[in-house]
Structure 1
């Protein structure tokens, strides 16, 4: 009998059931008498938060998943995974809840930035690299959200109506590839698919995932997704999170004893949990999947900068880039306060942030800075040297945690007046006793006059400034979504005249969410007296006109791109478009840096010298930006999703369920597959991106292989410097069908070469690229194909024939 079977046989029913649900928000219980340790989970995918959601426990913050996919480099994704495994081990986590491989069905998807691509093959290749890297480090990866969780509106209750062919060929494809690569866990989605909520979906979880695909790992629920007892147990779920208080525990024990759930089903769930525990080294007598854990050797800061710079996509360039040490006018709020990540469960607190302003200053160029217009609808968190006690010199914000009697449970000193903890509180603070928190700091204004303060969060608040109560009221969540409740919180603004040092105090009575526990998420916003938007734009214009080059950083905000809600517009928030237009009119050498995780409209794109897309670039944002702008690094990224001219042009915009159902009526036609059928062209095709050199595609040969075919391409770097090219291979059937895409990505590979160098690239095409799901089986679409090889979907350089 194996160690796992021996351990299973030693457990009574109650203990077995206890292993199938969280003992708290992030972990499963230990069972010492069988040598089982407690398995700890942590959110990802761009950093390992650990069991605390607060600034007191920082972690390396990498660029957004859209940025990682823009590298088109599975090997780099694997290195990212290894870093995250290192971070997970440092934080005591055994299972990383990442990657997210839902697709860019529509640019309005709220978590678009957290997913890789509109294309299932690119998504699969990057996801496989990421998962292998995490598991190289002996930490489990959790591919999510299984399946059709491609938008946020009503995500807890919507039913995605998707035909079988579309499910198999598009939305399930990345999951299948990652399961075949050996992922250790899968997270089921909140939503339903074709009439059955995913936490109870027997056909997809038992029949397909565990049966047909042979997945031997754990299926874990999204947090609070499991709502029933017997139906979830019979539907293929293995672990219900979080706990305690979820529908399993004593209720599942009762269901087994009542004959509603066979004990053999529970045994199989426990067997999977024990197998995962063994793989991560938590079960005595089982050799871990990685017997010798790697040392902490990955330089997180360096890798974060490398991924960022390699992900940047140069969409337009008249030769202004790279910069040759000119005088620069740097413009934009996001240039000083970098937007490094999207909102939601991806949120991680970095140990530091290199802003674009920091990065450009480090280059030693002559630089002027103007913030321009502020795109945020909420006041920025209070921060800066003016928040310092005039007597003690202590800088920052004192956070005190109290119980119901007012007794102190613990305290922290924060650099900025923004906090966030769910379930587990900072070290030494007992969340079960927590009743209120108090945030306070001395404010020494640099400018006298009317200052604005913002109270952000959910619950009861009292704000006092210099002893005067300015706000005493309760704020409620916009809806029941915990992500929206914590991150898209309401804000109340108050104003008062400040003409000297004042003590500012924000008291907050905490709130409790069922299944999660105490929640602390508050922000003290602040804005000093300042000019109007028109005046700010005019200042930017004056600075731009006086410089050789203007660099304008535009950005979305957390109110635009976040988990918990979908977008309603692709326009940049605020008056940023007006600012870009005015600056470009004043200086023809205007470079626009687009700091967004997903597509935005760019009405000024033809009027500026260069456009550089930096996604959400992580903690080393400014260092990577400066390196690319000044040519130390080439912008090597390519678009993982098609960018429109206008939102109205997009083929798929539907994110709102009708009578609880979100119908995927477009079928296979999302992304470039759908744009091909539109009467208008996009602004930039899937796969697009320029570099600092040029390439000549000289020849292509296609050779049949055991899989399908091997495509060999010869390229020459015809520019004056070394560079990187992503060779993309598309298949075009000679006999197109109206109900199928006319062209699709079948393979890709990247190559680097010096100036004038000729290199050869080999791209393997898998059999699946010519298969379709018909009548419940995969069938080969036989016939002739044209193999298109090119720079992007809209730029074919070479073609060859293939017979299947």
Structure 2
């Protein structure tokens, strides 16, 4: 018989369901009386289904339709629900379809290499890769990382990271993204996504959206740190800022065809990220036309039916809390579909999105690679199901997937090193007589490069931050070892003191005649589940760790040629020493990965050209205008973090409050700044208008929601099979009993109907009107129409061959807009002395548009617009008007 009641646990948490006049609007400072005056996220339903004609997805859609149409209800639930934490070999696995030969998909971190594996590479942190400003290096990065994941048997690579964007300079995971500018981050992300998926692995863009700090991202984690809160933090963002800043790079990921998006832990306008219908249904799937699947972050799902109709497609790792064996989906999702709470088409669309993404990257069921590693042991033999300690077998096959990627890693880390100061031509080094290296950051971790779990410490060279976005080092070249090898090759005398606290020894060394002193210092951060020296993910201050400032000042007080190398996750305070004349050169080397020593040696000796800063260096933390929320501000309720600064973060903020170099609070080194080995002159700005068709809002309707059926009214067909042995803690799609819905779900409060708690329209599968700004793969296709082509001549007027990184900025004009925003860049390599090259950049309609909250569309305002071209956000010698 058909069940008439619904599953509990599928209720709604912190979502207001009264429909505002504009269902897509996230009005600035909107408040809802029914939610205690807090920021409000409006409901947007139903959850959009796939478009069979979406460009680039047509073939994948057909293959997915053919596959999913064969699946039973249980099989569809199986591929949407994780099997539980440590339920299988990967950090996340869903169930498979053995009948059709599909093993469960494997999801694995992460954004700089494979986590919990062996014989894999440790790439530079994304912030360092971003500092190269090289799209081809980022595309290569994606392909190399994708190929390593593929060859380990991984189906979905959990990266790249677009959120956090880097709103606050002390955000713990800022280093997992490529930089703080939305345009630059989007361009880099698009290149990486293309590379990953060309390698045959589904990329996962994360964390959607506004996930800007670690403090309070999960209430349970915060409670463990002693904070008395019951709900996770709410990031409160207005509609315009959401579109123009935080959603901007995700548009580029979707435009590049990304197969998966991971929703975030925290709330957005007081609705959890993985059940926020405004962001998932309205923005991501509705407006951007995202065709792939939405995956929850690990334990970021808070409801069952509510998250299903709000746009979640896959739950990770499957259990409500690690190792409980209980899931919001699994058997509960089976029952919710049978009793009509979750419409059949919604489950079909979940399965379609997952399988279309799988087929889109070139995979087939017949050629799915075997998983040849285990996340939970480095030994050859272990448990196939570690949570329950069952099925002992070979789980690791020690497959070496590194290829020749070390060369790419070394080049990227070198070209992502930023030369901030270089007085008296201190660099590059040319067979110096005596090199004296000082600092813990130049040496090894005595416990080994992987001696701290998930890199949760700072011992030795800081080559990556900490948390789930890390990888195991196959080896780690320290600066001390690489510089010593270079010194031997050059016949240079070399000594080092690998401590920040052995000052007497260090002073005796660096004060000797002819000593070129190189001081290595660091600052670290990472994910919030690890607390390193009082830094609960987010940094607690902007200073160098281990008395790094004092070390620099001490060395420079006795050595007139002091070179500073900083391995940091972001900006640090340099005010006390950066302009000391004895500090002749300053390098930011970011998080360089396994080739740390070789890459910094390559830059110090001029074998590669340096990069440009992907963030601004303010004089102090207060100068940025925003900071981490370190203490709850809403009693025991969700801490409220209002993004009242709007678009004014990083250089946009500095341009507003301190536009001139001498102004109080002006950045010491601006966004995009970096010295090269030569001097360059910018001339001959040419702006050529194009003539695209006038912008037309999208009109029409979607198709009706496809549904493939294959369901039975007989509950006996959905109970646990007699011929399958139940694995403890493993999540299954089967019902426990066919006696009644209450018994089948195990739900004590079973009995509410869908109409009693699901919002209006949540189960409507009829054709839906298209949004004016919508379109497959990122929105209205006309947003990518080219409006202008800009060209400039760049001439090397110096004496050395070097790379140059031209940047194009645009003023959108109008009250309340940033002075200028980045809208183009390139890395032009190996420009010879006297050589002139052309920088050509296209400005699209999207690049010139603002989000209009009334029409809910992109518009080009009548305000005057200008374009600048130069070498940083504040060194822009060429300026022209856009007619």
Specify the TM-score bucket, using the shorter chain as the normaliser.
0.7 to 0.9
- How many pairs are equivalent? 628
Cα deviation, residue 553, structure 1? 0.3
Segment of structure 1 superposing worse, 312-321 or 669-678:
669-678
What do residues 525-578 of structure 1 show as CA deviations (whole Å, max 9, x unaligned)? xxxxxxxx3xx1222122111142100000124566999621220011232211
Distance verdict in 2 for CA 1:285–1:308, change over 3 Å:
closer
Shift of 1:254: 2.1
Q: Tell me which of 585, 596, 599 is aligned to 2:557.
A: 585
1:429-508 to 2 correspondences below 5 Å: none
Quote how far apart the aligned CAs of 1:668 are: 1.2
Match of 2:286 in 1: 211
- Output the CA distance in 1 between the equivalents of 2:417 and 2:158: 26
In structure 2, what is the Cα distance between the partners aligned to 1:197 and 1:171?
A: 16
- The answer for the alignment partner of 1:647 in structure 2 is 621
**Greater alpha carbon shift after TM alignment, 65-74 vs 561-570:** 561-570
Which segments of 5 or more consecutive residues in structure 2 lack a partner in the other structure?
Answer: 1-60, 219-231, 320-325, 370-399, 445-460, 526-530, 659-664, 693-785
1:26 aligns with 2:63: no
Structure 2 residue aligned with 1:372, among 499, 519, 522?
Answer: 499
Q: Could you tell me how far 1:313 is from its partner in structure 2?
A: 0.2
Q: What residue is the counterpart of 1:101 in the other structure?
A: 162
Q: Deviations over 1:768-798 (max 9, x none)?
A: 1221111221111234322211111111121
User: In the TM superposition, what is the alpha-carbon distance from 1:65 to its structure 2 partner?
Assistant: 0.8
Distance 2:302 2:364 in 1: 30
Residues of 2 paired with 1:323 and 1:354: CA distance?
A: 20
Kindly indicate whether the alpha-carbon contact (under 8 Å) linking 1:224 and 1:246 is maintained by their aligned counterparts in 2.
Answer: no
Where 1:541 maps in the other structure, the secondary structure is helix
Are residues 562 and 339 of structure 1, via their aligned partners in 2, closer, same or farther at CA, if it must alter by over 3 Å? farther
CA-CA distance at 1:296 after TM superposition = 7.4
- Cα distance, 1:284 vs. partner? 3.8
Q: Which residue matches 2:478?
A: 355
CA distance in 2, matches of 1:583, 1:760: 43
- Contact 2:121–2:402 (8 Å) recurs in 1: no
C-alpha separation in 1, matches of 2:803 and 2:300:
43
Do the aligned partners of residues 256 and 77 (structure 1) sit closer, same or farther apart at CA in structure 2, a change above 3 Å counting?
same
Q: Secondary structure at the match of 1:42?
A: strand
Distance change (3 Å), C-alpha of 1:3 and 1:173? closer
Alpha-carbon separation, structure 2, partners of 1:372 and 1:297: 32
Q: Following the alignment from structure 2 to structure 1, what is the Cα–Cα distance between the partners of residues 791 and 301?
A: 49
State the alpha-carbon separation in 2 of the partners of residues 584 and 563 from structure 1.
Answer: 29
More strand by share: 1
Q: Confirm or deny: 8 A CA contact 1:186 1:220 kept in the other structure.
A: yes
Map of 1:502 onto structure 2: none
Once the two structures are superposed, residues 320-363 of structure 1 have per-residue CA deviations (whole angstroms, 9 ceiling, x without a partner) of 11112111100101101221100001221111111001110111
User: 1:569 maps to which residue?
Assistant: 541
Please tell me whether residue 265 in structure 1 is matched to residue 346 in structure 2: yes
Structure 1 gap ranges (5+): 289-294, 374-532
CA distance in 1, matches of 2:314, 2:245: 27
Matches within 5 A, 1:485-564: 533=501, 536-546=502-512, 547-557=514-524
Helix, strand or coil at the partner of 1:110: coil
Which structure has more relative contact order (CA 8 Å, sep 6+)? It is 2
Corresponding position of 2:195: 133
**Deviation readout 1:652-683 (Å, 9 max, x if unpaired):** 11434532211101111111111112242011
Aligned match for 1:336, one of 443, 449, 453: 443
**Shift of residue 580 of structure 1?**
0.8
Partner of 1:13: 73
Contact preservation (8 Å) 2:120, 2:401: no
Question: Who is 2:11 aligned against?
Answer: none
Which residue is equivalent to 1:188?
263
Q: Distance in 2 between matches of 1:60 and 1:223?
A: 24
Contact 1:94–1:280 (8 Å) recurs in 2: no
Question: Is residue 161–residue 661 contact of structure 1 (8 Å, CA) maintained in 2?
Answer: yes
Q: Deviations over 1:175-234 (max 9, x none)?
A: 011101111110001111112111111222122222222211111000111121111111
Q: Could you tell me how far apart the structure 2 residues matched to 1:237 and 1:632 are?
A: 48
Q: 1:704 to 1:121 in 2, by over 3 A?
A: same
Who is 2:584 aligned against? 609
2:151 to 90, 93, 103: 90
Pairwise CA distance, 1:3? 4.7
Q: Distance in 1 between matches of 2:150 and 2:97?
A: 21
SS at 1:190 equivalent: coil
Question: What CA deviation, in whole Å up to 9, does each residue of 1:491-542 have, x standing for no partner?
Answer: xxxxxxxxxxxxxxxxxxxxxxxxxxxxxxxxxxxxxxxxxx3xx1222122
Contact 2:68 / 2:351 at 8 angstroms: preserved in 1?
A: yes
Aligned equivalents of 2:478 and 2:329: distance in 1?
46
Aligned residue for 1:799, secondary structure, equals: strand
| TM-score normalised according to structure 2 size | 0.69
Q: Judge conservation of contact 1:343–1:561 (CA < 8 Å) in 2.
A: no
SS at match of 2:876: strand
Q: Structure 1 768/696 Cα, relative in aligned 2: closer, same or farther at 3 Å? A: same
Match of 2:841 among 749, 753, 763: 763
1:45-444 mapped onto 2 (5 Å cutoff):
45-49=111-115, 53=116, 57-102=118-163, 103-156=165-218, 157-244=232-319, 245-280=326-361, 283-284=364-365, 299-318=404-423, 319-326=425-432, 327-337=434-444, 338-363=461-486, 364=488, 365-373=492-500
Structure 1 residue 306 displacement after superposition: 0.5
Residue-by-residue CA offset, 1:628-673 (whole Å, 9 max, x unaligned): 11122222x1011111111122221143453221110111111111
Residue 622 of structure 1 aligns to a residue whose secondary structure is: helix
Query: CA-to-partner distance for each residue in 1:240-285, whole Å, 9 max, x for gaps?
Result: 0103533111111222233221122111111112223323555448
Query: Match of 2:452?
Result: none
Contact 1:108 1:655 in 2 (8 A): no
Three-state SS of the structure 2 residue aligned to 1:619 is helix
Deviation per CA, 1:30-79, whole angstroms, max 9, x where unpaired? 21222323211110111122xxx26xx24211111111111111111000
The root-mean-square deviation of aligned C-alpha atoms, in Å, is 2.1
The CA deviation at 1:98 is: 0.3
Partners of 2:67 and 2:548 lie apart in 1 by: 61
Structure 2 residue aligned with 1:422: none
Q: Structure 1's 170 and 251: CA in aligned 2 closer, same or farther, altered over 3 A?
A: same
SS class of match (1:167): helix
Shift in Å at residue 116 of structure 1? Answer: 1.8
Helix, strand or coil at the partner of 1:266: helix
Q: Secondary structure at the match of 1:598?
A: coil
Please give the alpha-carbon distance, in whole angstroms, between the structure 1 residues aligned to 2:795 and 2:604: 24
Counterpart in the other structure of 2:828: 751
Task: Tell me the secondary structure at the aligned position of residue 465 of structure 2.
Answer: coil
| In 1, Cα distance between equivalents of 2:535 and 2:332 | 31
Matches of 2:318 and 2:848 in 1, distance apart? 45
